[in-house]
Structure formats: structure tokens, C-alpha cells
Structure 1
Amino acid sequence: MTNAFVINGGKPLKGEITPQGAKNEALQVISAVLLTEEKVTISNIPDIKDVNKLIELLGDMGVIVERINEHTYTFEAKDINQDFFLSEAFKAKGGGLRGSIMIVGPLLARFGKASIPKPGGDKIGRRRLDTHFLGFEKLGAQFNYNPENGFFNVDASNLQGTYILLDEASVTGTANVVMAAVLAKGTTTIYNAACEPYLQQLCKMLSRMGARISGIGSNLLTIEGVEKLGGTEHRLLPDMIEIGSFIGLAAMTGSEITIKDVQYKELGMIPDVFKRLGIKLELRGDDIFIPAQDHYEIETFIDGSIMTIADAPWPGFTPDLLSIVLVVAIQAKGSVLIHQKMFESRLFFVDKLLDMGAQIILCDPHRATVIGLDNQVKLRGISMTSPDIRAGVSLLIAALSAQGQSTIYNIEQIERGYQHIDTRLKALGADITRI
């Protein structure tokens, strides 16, 4: 029997909540420890399945991992067992974790070879890995797929810097190619590079380790290869998706919530998008304070046409928060068109919201129009299943705002990305039980 959350909704919450360390940054910077034999200390690591699995995988490879406290680890990748990469254990663990692709770039750079099983992952439409492989090939890596054991064997004994135009501004793809390039011979130029704060964090960390990277924060990175990298200390940013989720939660449940230590300057346009929905928020130091609001009104464009909120590569609005914006719009006054450009099946959870009483027109797999209820009608609690991480939290927010009892199944999906979410919401006064 899988775990589920039972939620009695419809009551306001109150208090402070601190966002966890950023999951997507964690997967990149933890992989980067493979680039050096010296000790690397990383703090503010979130205690979630995807990250813990990656840390465990590094341990299996021979990295000396020490847990200093709940959120701080040291890693020392002195002796890596190369045979492990052809083992069934690696196939089982590496195949079940999308983040495992992130170890390929560092391994190629440092050892000149790697083997990887075909990867698995999230159910949100096709997530291609071509960007990673094409980037490695441009640097001179050669791939051979072995259908007998299901592994890609990669030879990268002679990585050479080159000009790379990425076919999409993939965050993980950019990160992987950057990690491969820092130890390649000569200069690598990556154009159409992703420039998310998490990627900037990785580049800054690599620079402290001795890498030579310029253009950090732009979509044109120039990397001069070096002989070797040393150790460093690194602290993860807070998770911007959690911060956005908590802003949405506060608005939809009419709660007064303070989100602590948000690194506001790294949030890009996230606060502004929530303000467009009519949500009041103010910056106090580095905390976001959201007052209790019984009413929030969606702005229209200047010419009076309906507001559209769409995702775009950074510094545009992150696709991971569109599900949250969609749910929060349900109780706003006014209408909004949500346009999810990046993934083709992320909007399919709206059927659950319709069952709860939301007014949403699903135009096609990428677009949904939400007609706000303005709190005139409350959502009603239902039983539902979470299809992916972000939809899971959106449904959780809907349930907390609904009248009556909701049950959410398949919460493993939520817990891949959000640590101890039930305990943290309980501390704000939420009526949520794990069964």
C-alpha cells in the first residue's frame, strides 16, 4: 500500500517557513565533486529522495562521503572504482534516477571514459538527453551503445575545447557540458547556454575549484580548460520552486505566512508573476512576508486583454511554477491563460481540479484558461493521485484551500522534490495526516 496524505482543508494557516536547499542545484553541484580528488564541502543540501539517491550512488562509486550535520556533507572522490559503472548495481540505481546523467560530464573530464545505462524519470512528456550527448560529442567523445547490456560506453580520452551551439537551453545539458569542458584541452564556447541561478552557482563553485569560466549569468559561456581542479566549500541557494509554492499556498488559503531567507535577488521574475495575480507580498530583510488576503484580483494587460502567463528559459518564468500559478488563479478574481510551452503533459492534472469545482478550460495539452471563482465558491475535497512532483504540490495547495476532506495518493512523487512537507505544513497549522 502506498502512502497518502489526508487533508482537512478550508482553514487559514499562519507562521514562518524556511525553504529547503534547491533540489536542481544539488544534483549538479554534488556531481561536480567527481572533478577533483580533493575534499569538497556542500551545505544546505535538501533531505529528499532524488538527492539522497545520488549521494548513495557516489558512495557506491568509491567517493568518501561524510555527513557533517543534517544538511552538510563532505565528499572526497580520490579513488573511483571504474568497474562499478558496468555493474548491475549501477544499472539498477543509475537507471532509476534522472539525476544520474549529471555524473557523466565530470567522469568523462577526469577519467576519459564512462558507461551509463539508458535513463528513466518523470512522467511529464518526452525529456530528451540529446543535448548532453551532442555536447560531449562536439568535445570529442565517442559513444557506443551496447544493446546486450543496455549501456552506452563513452570514450573521451582526448576532449578538445570547441564552439558549441546547444540545440536547447537545457539546464542539465549546459551543466553537464560545462563540467566536461573545464578539464578539456583548449577553449570551449557554449552558446544558447542555460543561465539559471543554479547554473551560475555551479560555475561559481567550479571557478573556486580553479576552473576558468567567463560569461557566468549570460547565455554565452567561455571555458578555458585547466589541468586539474581542487577542493572548495559551497552552499546551495534556497529552492525557488518551494518559495513560489509557499507564496501560492498563502494566497489561496488566505494565510499570513513569512518565508525565511529567500535570496530575493536570485528569484528573477517569480515574485512579479505572483503580484500579477493580485497577491500582495513584501520584502522584509531577506524574508518574504505575505499578509492574509481574502481577495486577490488578476491584472489585465494595459489594453485590457486577458493576462497570459507562460514559461520561458531563464530569466523568463520557470515551467516548474506554472502548475502552482494555475491552481492559485482558481480563487482569484478575473481570468488568466496559462501557457505551458516546455512539457506536453504537465497540464493534465486539471481534471482533478475540475472535480473539485474549479472553472478551467483546457484548450490543448499546452494551454489552459482559468476563470477565477473569487472565493465566491469554495473548492470541495476529493480523492486524487499525484502525477508528477509539481502537480502534486499544486493539488496539495488546492486541498488545503478546499472545504472538507481530500486524500492525495502517490505522494512519493511529491517527496522526490519537497522534504518533510507534511511536518512543515503542520507547523503552520495545516490539518494534514500521512496514512
Structure 2
Amino acid sequence: MRKIVINGGRPLKGSVTISGAKNSVVALIPAIILADGIVSLDGVPDISDVDSLIDIMETMGATVKRSGDSLEIDPRGVKDMPMPFGKINSLRASYYFYGSLLGRFGQAIVGLPGGCDLGPRPIDLHLKAFEAMGATMTYEGQNMHLSTNGKRIHGAHIFMDTVSVGATINTMLAAVKAKGRTVIENAAREPEIIDVATLLNNMGAHVRGAGTEVITIEGVDKLHGTRHQVIPDRIEAGTYIALAAAVGEGIRIDNVLYEHLEGFIAKLEAMGVRMTVSEDSIFVEKQDKLKAVSVKTSPYPGFATDLQQPITPLLLKAEGTGTITDTIYEKRVGHVQELANMGADIRVLGSRISYQGPSKLNGTHVKATDLRAGAAMVIAGLMAEGQTEITNIEFILRGYSNIIEKLKDLGADIELIDGAE
């Protein structure tokens, strides 16, 4: 069993560069299936989700070349075939293959998606959109079969019952080669949606309104190759900003887009965190007294659900009491018991997390219960007195590019240890 071992209590300083957005690239790679030429992506993070997506693309017949943080993908050899169940089941974002395969072949046979267990995350909004565009759904063993029965998928007017990033992107993927116009109302507005729309438009699609509540797509017959720069990862950036405020003695976070983090940064400022925001970087000073605040997640541009867990260890340094309410994923509480095991005064009360600070954390054995909980455990381990061992680290490696190296460069005493050692 692999684990991360941290000897905490060391102040960190220096600079760290944020990688490309995980939540973008997991949609950008499946989107490339729709192209009729070679597509290059720059700024691709070095994470296991990308490794899984490359394996799936190559299994389907794509040619993939990887050099540093760049990917060159030739999708012209992709075949209309059932997706490999084991690989599909390892990551949640595999559902983006539904939309891209429907758009290219008019059918998709894909295993049900995996990923972190954050409670019910149904894909009914995706399926409702596909059905409105002419697809039918049947189950074949562990696979879902979506088909347009030999016809070209057609445009439709679709209203999302709830705001969903995944369903918005998936509908866009299916619509760009559809016959006619598709309108998505109550669309999600996250930066990653704009990033995917930018790639599609650079390939020759006609997507308008991405980043607003109404997206309009005029279907086209062909999409060509292009080159695309992945946006910076706002969740990784928020994680390192929280880490810098918790244990830093002056840390600069580079390759940051402030406008993607306004809701998060406003909450830190309410705590009293001192920062200097520049054009593409944020410098976080060494902090003194912080005051407790309450956090409530909401769809973009509100406080991101993916930053609820990474900010929690920092909240434990603040004086006073506060609550955390996740309106997106109520079951996103796996980090609470692990932090309590480290000595934090924190508990789950109904649908909220309640905490009392400041709490002194002590190193112990903890586990990452999901991706962002894993980030919380890393920050807590850096804050704690003594040694912290984190298991289930595969979750962390799914979403944080070169996290061990980046933290070592800041002065952290941290190691990734393989089970054989």
C-alpha cells in the first residue's frame, strides 16, 4: 500500500506554479474524438486521471504522443466499439465519452462512471438531454448503450432541471456535430465549460454563450485539428492558497486567474488572510490571527464545492466557531472524522459541519476518503505536530499534479512511500 508521510510543523516559503485544470482536461480529451484531425493540448497536468484517459483513447484507436505537459492526439483511428469497462469505471469523467461518441458515431457503449464516492451523483440530466436529441438508452450487462438508430443526432431545446457542469459539457459535446441548433438553458457557468467551448470553437464548432446561463450550438458537419492551452486549475490554486495561509511564511502561487477564485478569496479575506493579488499570481503572507467564518458552497461563481475540504484545515486555525454547508454534495464529509482523529474540534451535525478553533493538530494515521479530502489531509499533516501518514493516496494523485515535488520545493518534509519499501 502506497502512502504519503509528512513530518509537520515546518514553515514553508517560495513559489509554486499551478498546473492545467483537471476538471477541464478530463472533458477536453474525450472532446478530441469529435475532431477530423490532430489536436494538441498544452498545460496538461501530470495526474492519474489523464493517464487513464490516454489509455482509453489508445484502446479505442487514437494515436497519442506525450511530451512534458503537452499531448498530441490523432483521433482519426478511433473505432466505434464498446468502451473498456475497467478503465471507464476508474474515473467519474468517463461519462464525457457518451457525448463525444454520440456526436461522432451516433451511438456509445460505455460502462457506468466511477470516481470519488460523494453520494448520489445521477447522470439523469445527461440522459434526458441525449434523449431530447434523438438517442435511446438500453443496458447491456455493465454497459449503457446509447443509440440514435443509425440517424444523425439532432439539435434540441434543453432546460437543465438543476445546474450541472457534467451535463452541460456532455450536451455540448453531443450537439456540436448535431443536425440543427441546440439551446441549453440553465446551463452551468464554470470556467471549465468556457475552456471546453473554446477548444470546440477552435476546432470549427459554433458554440455561443458559454459562461452564461444560455448556451447555443449550431451543428456542423466537420471539426478540424487545432492547438489549445488548458486553463489553470482553480481548485489546485485554491488548495495551495489555503495551504500557504495555514503554514506559509510567504508563498507566491503562479499561473492563477483571480476571476476564477473570487468567491473563495472573498471568504479568505473575511478570515483576515493577507494576500497580494497580481495579474497572474497571488502572494500569501505569513498570517497572524484569523477569525472563524462559515462557508456555504454553491454553483459558480459561488464558493466551489471542490474547495470546501481544502479550506477546512485552515479554518481550524481561526479563533471562534463556524459551520460548513455543502449544498452540492451533502456527503462530502469524509475528512471530518480524519481531522477529529488528529485532534480537531470538528463534527458533522445533520447536513452541516461544525468546528471550533483554534485546534492543535497532532500527526497520526489518516486516510484520503476522496480526492479533495486527500488534499485536506495533506494540509493538515503539514500543520500538525509530529508525523502524519496518509493512505488511500490514489485519490490525491488523481487530481494534484506533482504534489510531492511542489511541496518539497516549498520546504515540506514529505515523502511518497511505496508499499514495498
- Shorter chain as denominator, the TM-score bin is over 0.9
Coordinate RMSD, CA, aligned:
1.5
Which whole-Å deviations, capped at 9, do the CAs of 1:226-250 have from their partners, x for residues lacking one?
Answer: 1111111111111111111111111
Q: Could you tell me which residue of structure 2 aligns to residue 74 of structure 1?
A: 72
Which residue identity lines up with residue 322 of structure 1 in the other structure?
Answer: Q
SS at match of 2:334: coil
Greater shift, 90-99 or 223-232, is seen at 90-99
Percent identity, aligned pairs only, is: 38
Q: Could you tell me which residue of structure 2 aligns to residue 270 of structure 1?
A: 264
Q: Distance in 1 between matches of 2:360 and 2:297?
A: 28
Q: Which of residues 215, 231, 243 is equivalent to 2:237?
A: 243
Q: Distance in 1 between matches of 2:296 and 2:68?
A: 37
Q: Distance in 2 between matches of 1:355 and 1:204?
A: 45
SS at match of 2:265: helix
Matches within 5 A, 1:17-416: 17-67=16-66, 69-83=67-81, 85=82, 90-146=84-140, 149-156=141-148, 157-298=151-292, 307-364=293-350, 366-373=351-358, 378-416=360-398
Q: Distance in 1 between matches of 2:60 and 2:147?
A: 19
SS at match of 1:82: coil
Which residue identity lines up with residue 307 of structure 2 in the other structure?
Answer: L
- 1:97 is displaced (CA, Å) by 2.5
Question: Is the 8 Å Cα contact of residues 238 and 261 (structure 2) preserved in structure 1?
Answer: no
Which whole-Å deviations, capped at 9, do the CAs of 1:374-401 have from their partners, x for residues lacking one?
Answer: xxx5311111111001011101101111
- 1:269 is displaced (CA, Å) by 1.9
SS at match of 2:182: strand
- 1:207 is displaced (CA, Å) by 1.4
Which residue identity lines up with residue 357 of structure 2 in the other structure?
Answer: G
Question: Is the 8 Å Cα contact of residues 255 and 292 (structure 1) preserved in structure 2?
Answer: yes
- 1:118 is displaced (CA, Å) by 2.3
Which whole-Å deviations, capped at 9, do the CAs of 1:60-91 have from their partners, x for residues lacking one?
Answer: 11112122x211011111122223x16xxx12
Question: Is the 8 Å Cα contact of residues 254 and 294 (structure 1) preserved in structure 2?
Answer: no
- 1:254 is displaced (CA, Å) by 4.1
Q: Distance in 2 between matches of 1:36 and 1:380?
A: 52
How many corresponding residue pairs?
Answer: 415
Q: Distance in 1 between matches of 2:49 and 2:134?
A: 30
Which whole-Å deviations, capped at 9, do the CAs of 1:28-84 have from their partners, x for residues lacking one?
Answer: 1111111112111101001111111101211111112122x211011111122223x
Which residue identity lines up with residue 104 of structure 2 in the other structure?
Answer: R
Which whole-Å deviations, capped at 9, do the CAs of 1:174-217 have from their partners, x for residues lacking one?
Answer: 10110101111111110111110000111122112121122121
Question: Is the 8 Å Cα contact of residues 163 and 186 (structure 2) preserved in structure 1?
Answer: yes
Which whole-Å deviations, capped at 9, do the CAs of 1:251-296 have from their partners, x for residues lacking one?
Answer: 1114311001212233342221221222111113311000111322
Which whole-Å deviations, capped at 9, do the CAs of 1:10-43 have from their partners, x for residues lacking one?
Answer: 1210110011111010011111111112111101
Structure 1: runs of 5 or more not aligned: 299-306
Which residue identity lines up with residue 155 of structure 1 in the other structure?
Answer: S
- 1:434 is displaced (CA, Å) by 2.1
Is 1:14 the counterpart of 2:13? The answer is yes
Q: Which of residues 390, 403, 406 is equivalent to 1:424?
A: 406
Question: Is the 8 Å Cα contact of residues 103 and 177 (structure 2) preserved in structure 1?
Answer: yes
Greater shift, 94-103 or 131-140, is seen at 94-103
Q: Distance in 2 between matches of 1:411 and 1:92?
A: 20
Which residue identity lines up with residue 76 of structure 2 in the other structure?
Answer: K
Question: Is the 8 Å Cα contact of residues 326 and 370 (structure 1) preserved in structure 2?
Answer: no
Which residue identity lines up with residue 208 of structure 1 in the other structure?
Answer: N
Go from structure 1 to structure 2 and tell me whether the alpha carbon gap of 1:207 and 1:395 turns closer, same or farther (over 3 Å shift): same
Q: Distance in 2 between matches of 1:258 and 1:372?
A: 26
Q: Distance in 1 between matches of 2:240 and 2:269?
A: 14
Greater shift, 19-28 or 267-276, is seen at 267-276
Q: Distance in 2 between matches of 1:325 and 1:419?
A: 19
Structure 2: runs of 5 or more not aligned: none
